[in-house]
Amino acid sequence: MSLDVGDIEKFNEVVKRIDRVLDRMGDSKNIGTANVNINAGGVAVWIAVTCCVAMLAATMVGAVWLGREFGAMESANHQQDKRISDLNDYLSAIYMQAPQLRPKEEKK
């Protein structure tokens, strides 16, 4: 196989194109690697930390408040149950003295 002048010129042209592509790529050896740099610092980090601390504080205050509300509701329920029990005792005492006042039970 013999090479003529046209083949040598085509080869030189391809070599020049490859050189241009390599020059455009620079010194990068990892052709398929992309580098992503995220610079999160300063004010943004402090804002995020402050929001997290505020959320934690609000959660703690809410937990204390909710505990007090449940305690108050439980106390009110206990008082209501005691009143109902006392009224049942009162009715039982009345029915013991006057059994004719007791409502008649309907038989089914």
- 31-47: per-residue pLDDT in tens? 676 777 777 678 888 89
Instruction: Specify if 87 maps to a domain.
Output: yes
User: What is the model's pTM?
Assistant: 0.40
Instruction: Specify if 85 maps to a domain.
Output: yes
- What domain count does the chain have? 1
The parent domain of residue 81 ranges over 71-100
What does the pLDDT look like over 61-99, one tens digit per residue? 999 999 999 999 999 999 999 999 999 999 999 999 998
Give the span between the Cα atoms of 102 and 64, in whole angstroms: 48
Q: So what's the pLDDT on residue 30?
A: 56
Q: So what's the pLDDT on residue 21?
A: 84
* Furthest C-alpha separation in the chain: 135
Give the span between the Cα atoms of 27 and 47, in whole angstroms: 39
Instruction: Specify if 82 maps to a domain.
Output: yes
The yes-or-no verdict on residue 18 having pLDDT over 80 is yes
Instruction: Specify if 55 maps to a domain.
Output: no
